[in-house]
Structure 1
Amino acid sequence: MTINVYTEPTPNPATMKFMVNKLLINGSEDFPSRESAEHSPFARELFKFNFVSGVFFASNFVTVTKTGDADWEDLEPILKEFVKGAVESELKIKEASPEEAPEFQGTETEIKIQQILHDYVRPAVEQDGGAINYKSFEEGVVTVELRGSCSGCPSSTITLKSGIQNLLQRMVPEVKDVVSEAL
């Protein structure tokens, strides 16, 4: 199979989404620093580029966060070629076993919230090169973690409040607020 790589900008100007025509991972993996990539051969290799400051994988894409002084026009062809080669050579994203399907836990309300985040919100957030993880539900407040291109993105607060919060409040009346846990 010939591997094709194409790029998509994300709402975060410091990140670029590199899409491939092959499933890379079930779930997602976030490597916000060089140190965090210790058990990921693919991420470790990306961090060898001095302009890479973060790496995030989900389904069929890798989102790369660059340092402030680098220009995507110069970096994009280099990274596209690297991603193509890494996928063709089956460089592993993580050394551990692959993730299984999500298993939701908690009260009936918590399980419903997790299911909505998984089925409705996750695919939309992944379109922008990011990921969302459920953390908790206490006293009407849902706490989530935004990763990948969503982490530090200027429009993530708007997405969180006008998109995710409105959806959850419509589908789960117990939800009063949605907040993002700082990374």
Structure 2
Amino acid sequence: MFTNILGSLRATTSRTCGLSRSIRNCSSVCRKNALDLTAKSRSLHTLKPSLVLTYSRLRPFIKVPGQRNLFIQTQETPNPNCIKFIPGCEVLPEGTIDFPNIRAAQEAPLAKALFRTPGVVGVFFGTDFVTVTKVDDDSVDWMVVKAEVLATITDFLASGLPIVNEGFELSSNATEIYDDDDDTVQYIKELLDTKIRPTVQEDGGDILYVGFDADSGVLKLKMQGACTGCPSSSVTLKAGVQNMMQFYIPEVKRVEQVEDEEEELSKSVFNEVEMEIQTRPKPT
């Protein structure tokens, strides 16, 4: 009888130990699941503040109902204040258009919309790209401006509105050869159109023929888009354009850049307004 009791006690003890081990295992699993849930919660909490920025970055890749997929690439230019936006569709049928200020963009709905972006001071259209220039101020962050510009271009292209109004004059005739052009001017325009302008347009800008003085040998050109205000524009003009012109056309002795007084005035006024806004005391 004593042996039977002892066997029962041993069996009970064994079941108790097994139950205890099961409880410990369940407890360990619960703790592991709790840690996993906590980690996931923290991860979601960390990601939450970046949802708006992520949407802004992905917006150019969103498919708009009734439209094809929009894929807008961005490309840096030699000018740190300019970025080239490539929407993957035709912007202009030919030529280029420069908008140095919002007044010049009254007949170009897309350019007018881009000028509403804080910090944007210039817009330039090529056949398949848009170059945007921001104010030369370190406090204006390209990350913020770029997101706004991408959203504006995406929404505008999805709307189906014309990029420029019908009848708007393009700069494709900047190197057009006229009957009264002498041989030297014809050579200059041909060299600009075939060798120089395509390279400059790859960097988001353009160079236009303004005039040539045969007596002094001075060739006057106008730089647009990313070339305007670029720190390396003088090097491009002298070491690049001037050397090529002198190599092929010995009559060219010097190349000079021409700037519109209206463009310089608009930039000066914009910079003054920006400075006044920044120095204005904040309301308490």
Q: Shorter-normalised TM-score: what interval?
A: over 0.9
Greater alpha carbon shift after TM alignment, 106-115 vs 92-101: 92-101
Count of paired positions? 183
Identity %: 36
TM-score by length of 1: 0.92
Q: Deviations over 1:15-60 (max 9, x none)?
A: 1110121221111111111111111111111111122111111111
- Verify: 1:155 aligned to 2:241, yes or no: no
Find the counterpart in structure 2 of residue 108 from structure 1: 183
Rounded Cα–Cα distance in structure 2 between residues aligned with 1:55 and 1:64: 5
| Alignment match, 1:123 | 198
Q: Hey, what's the Cα distance between the residues in 2 that align with 1:130 and 1:40?
A: 18
Would you say 1:83 and 2:153 are equivalent positions? yes
Please report how far the alpha carbon of residue 73 of structure 1 lies from its aligned counterpart in structure 2 after TM superposition.
Answer: 1.6
Larger Rg, first or second structure (1 or 2): 2
Distance 2:140 2:171 in 1: 36
- 1:49-64 paired onto structure 2 within 5 Å: 49-64=117-132
- 1:43, 1:55 within 8 Å by CA — same for their partners in 2? yes
Of 111, 130, 133, which aligns to 1:43?
Answer: 111
2:85 corresponding residue in structure 1:
18
Quick check: 1:169–1:175 contact (8 Å CA) kept in 2?
yes
Answer whether contact 2:105 2:112 (CA < 8 A) is retained.
yes
Alignment check: 8 A CA contact 1:6 1:80 kept: no
Q: Distance in 2 between matches of 1:153 and 1:7?
A: 18
Q: Which amino acid aligns with 1:7?
A: T
Q: How far has the Cα of 1:142 moved from its partner?
A: 0.8
Instruction: For residue 197 of structure 2, give the secondary structure of its aligned residue in structure 1.
Output: helix
Note if contact 1:17-1:64 (Cα within 8 Å) is conserved in structure 2: yes
TM-score in terms of structure 2 length: 0.61
Match status 1:174 vs 2:251: yes
Deviation digits for residues 104-131 of structure 1, max 9, x if unmatched? 2211110110111111111111111111
- Amino acid across the alignment from 1:42: L
Q: For 1:144-171, what per-residue CA distance to the aligned partner results, in whole angstroms no more than 9, with x for missing partners?
A: 0001111111100000000011111111
In 1, Cα distance between equivalents of 2:171 and 2:226: 23
Match for residue 72 of structure 1? Answer: 142
Aligned-pair distance for 1:94?
2.3
Q: Does the CA contact (< 8 Å) of 2:97 and 2:171 recur in 1?
A: no
For 1:65, the aligned partner's letter is T
Does the CA-based 8 Å contact 2:220-2:258 persist in structure 1? yes
Distance between the aligned counterparts of 2:251 and 2:69, measured in 1?
Answer: 48
Structure 1's consecutive aligned runs of 4 or more residues displaced over 4 angstroms after TM superposition are: 98-101
Q: Please state which structure has a larger fraction of its residues in strand.
A: 1
**Larger displacement relative to structure 2 (66-75 or 113-122):** 66-75
Choose between structure 1 and 2 for higher RCO, CA contacts under 8 A separated by at least 6 residues: 1
Identify the match of residue 31 of structure 1 among 99, 102, 108: 99
Answering whether residue 74 of structure 2 is matched by residue 7 of structure 1, we say yes
